[in-house]
Structure 1
């Protein structure tokens, strides 16, 4: 079997686990609240705790991979995540659940960036597009299938099974990684052991913790607007301080000079609006189907699963299209098409035939997946090998912040639309979602401003030109 197929699938397995976990958990919160006898709002701590642990350990993942070897760390990270999942399923109360979610986050923080690093180190440039096609599919499928899986599990068995099912999946991931991934380099081929940048770690981790906690807690109404802005501002100040620190430190934890590569900067920073939209949609669509249209969790999951089918179908066309038209044209076309699809979601009503909704969401999944494959391929096209760990860690940090911000943007706009229609105490209606999806669709088009600056020859080594 071609390494450009099986290697991406193995290293993308953690993205499947992580995205499935987060989306299934959101569906199961009401059942968990009844079982643990706590208000459902308090269970937000389980989600926030995971994200905070993720923020704390993300910055150090690249250094650990260079220090101990990416394959060893990758397997250990999946093991830690899986152990945390199993313990979550056995938790007897909310404090135990939050503690286990912190353990999960520790593993989750290291799985994805190290997986990307392994991919960059072992896939040839000419095979990278095909590899990224396979790499992006599992996570997208899990994110869109999560509501369906969660609805089925909560309906048929217990919420505890949303965590327990991670045990065999995680063990399979460790087995496949240990058997199939290339061995870590040893002896003189190992990367030199650089000293740990403790000051940089403190700045980065505290900055990420503050920004993500501010977005999460403020977005859920657990902090006042003033406190939210203060926490986020503190986090941004810490991240800005790290930028100055990294330019002077001999061995920064994450070398921000990777953003000096134009294609990397365009693919990571320039695509933030699209990633925000991709983060918001899996949160908004199940709400629209269930709250707006009155569908059951299973019915909602069956409809939104169309996006996963669209994502899967992209692998049959995206490689050929990138070779034929180039990254610039494909990114602009896929972004604009994604924007149109988000606007299309806003036109859904309870009278819209479900076949039409399914088709639009299928097309949206196809367009989003095409854009993500192109971005993930182009972004690393000019990154030297010695900067690969810095590039993958920084990209994962930006991705996580964008996805978190996407949920916050979606929930904030939804609350604003409801308040404008019926006042502070108004219940959500289907019409409120139209405003949100129109806004997200408009936001997505901002990516085109950056993509237009790309040249046709950018990423040529990936296309074999």
Structure 2
């Protein structure tokens, strides 16, 4: 199927395609949230420290960031249908291997296999959606695709907690397999098979960009696990140097994997930067809060799951309201105000003292879920609002890479800040709960400041994405 055939897509396919994409996002969100609440139990079984288990999360995110850039090329060459089905198979197989892991290194390798599947799964599904729907229908289609997937965070902490407490942590990975099979069954019949006649893979650019992503991500992760700062700083600087080399390469190459002309589009440029800065603060909360409930309050994984669950439930209400909000206030006003509210909510998690009830966090996390939902939909859609057809593959891939890399940075950043405060005994008065409180303050303030990025949007930016919301 050529790219121009997207306008002839059957109505049944247009109705079911968001559901197919939802199965992919559902698995990723379910998998990540289940793992967050289960890390202490997995650490005990594998004889590891809970604070070192972020390797199992970050290894997955790093794999996504490294291999997502090839998703557009593979889709153009082999077709969105074949690549998407292959990614589901790979993700399901990786989940099975995760359940069989006997050590942390084995789990990390298995998570990388999952990451290979995930690196193609979501971006290819989104690419098919973008090429199927016209711009004025795309916001509604993408929003609908994410609504069913939000069930994942609801089930994740609860199902993960119950499985850990009453079965074993191995089942948190096995639950992905039936979902993957459902996605494969739907894709075989309804996933459109878009291809491109122009195929030219920038291998050199891919290798340079992948090296930069790895160096930056690993350096940030190592900041929280080593007392030897100098080697980590060298690695960090090397990552930025590789980004400079990619810039030089993209300036002279005829068809770079990520054309620099993408950044001449203001909405894309602001969307990418805002997504990165905002998620640096937001992404650590789903990990830090369950960890605090279990470590500082000494509660079970099930209890921490119930505390986090409202975040996903209210997110579904946010998805139902985001179209009306964006149509009324525009992308600029919505993103600036929404980011400020999210930052204030994160800071408010530092208010309850150690002797307070853990249920004080439930209304905060519930309200946070609503505004997070609006934030993610707005940031993701404004990034692709003004992309031309020839930039769709590369732009969509870069948005996906940026999003996953930001999540990895956010998780690592939150843990780094936590460990810094944990090591300052005088400041926290030898109370781990105070370390979490100061961490929430730092993360919240960073999120508030990140909202200034969206000031660069024009008040009419995103008007072409407006939908009637039906």
Normalized against structure 2, the TM-score is what?
Answer: 0.89
Q: Are 2:96 and 1:86 aligned?
A: yes
1:96-175 aligned within 5 A: 96-137=106-147, 141-143=151-153, 145-175=155-185
Distance in 2 (alpha carbons) for counterparts of 1:25 and 1:355: 22
Of the structure 1 ranges 50-59 and 351-360, higher mean CA displacement relative to structure 2 is found in 351-360
Q: CA deviation at 1:354?
A: 5.4
Say whether residues 1:453 and 2:437 are aligned partners: no
Aligned to 1:339: 343
Distance apart, 1:251 and its partner CA: 1.7
Aligned counterpart in structure 2 of residue 417 of structure 1, from 398, 421, 435: 421
Structure 1 counterpart of 2:274: 270
How far the C-alpha of 1:448 sits from its partner, in A, is: 2.8
Change in 2 beyond 3 A, CA 1:161/1:366: same
Say whether the 8 Å CA contact 1:342–1:441 is kept in structure 2: yes
Alignment counterpart, residue 294 of structure 2, candidates 290, 294, 298: 290
Establish whether residue 328 from structure 1 lines up as the match of residue 342 from structure 2: no
SS in 1 for 2:299: coil
Name stretches of at least 5 consecutive residues in structure 1 with no aligned partner.
none
- Distance in structure 2 (CA, Å) of the matches to 1:45 and 1:131: 34
* 1:447/1:314 CA distance change after superposition, 3 Å: same
Aligned length: 458
SS across alignment from 1:433: helix
**Partner Cα distance (1:334, 1:431) in 2:** 27
Tell me, yes or no, if structure 1 residue 204 matches structure 2 residue 209: yes
1:216 equivalent to 2:221? Answer: yes
Q: Secondary structure at the match of 2:349?
A: helix
Worse-matched range after superposition: 160-169 or 19-28 = 19-28
Q: 1:380 aligns with which of 381, 384, 406?
A: 384
Q: Work out whether residues 37 and 305 of structure 2, in 8 Å CA contact, stay in contact via their aligned partners in 1.
A: no
CA distance 1:94–1:198, shift in 2 (3 Å) = same
Q: Which residue of 1 aligns with 2:6?
A: none
1:403 CA displacement: 1.1
Is 1:245 matched up with 2:255?
no
- Write the distance in 2 (CA, Å) between the matches of 1:119 and 1:243: 29
Does structure 2 conserve the Cα–Cα contact (< 8 Å) formed by 1:326 and 1:457?
A: yes
2:28 pairs, out of 18, 23, 46, with 18
1:302 Cα offset (Å): 0.4
Q: Which residue of 2 aligns with 1:436?
A: 439
Give RMSD over aligned pairs: 2.6
Pairwise CA distance, 1:321: 1.5
TM-score normalised by structure 1 residue count: 0.90
SS of 2:284's partner is: helix
> For residues 3 and 349 of structure 1, what CA distance do their matches in structure 2 show?
52
Question: CA–CA distance in 2 between the matches of 1:23 and 1:387?
Answer: 33
Distance 1:45 1:353, change over 3 A: closer
Quote the Cα distance in structure 1 between the aligned partners of 2:155 and 2:228: 34
Where structure 2 has 5 or more consecutive residues not aligned to the other structure, the ranges are: 1-10
Give the distance between the partners of 2:91 and 2:135, measured in 1 at CA. Answer: 31
SS in 2 for 1:159: coil
Paired residues of 1:15 and 1:138 also in contact (CA < 8 A): no
Shift of 1:32: 3.3
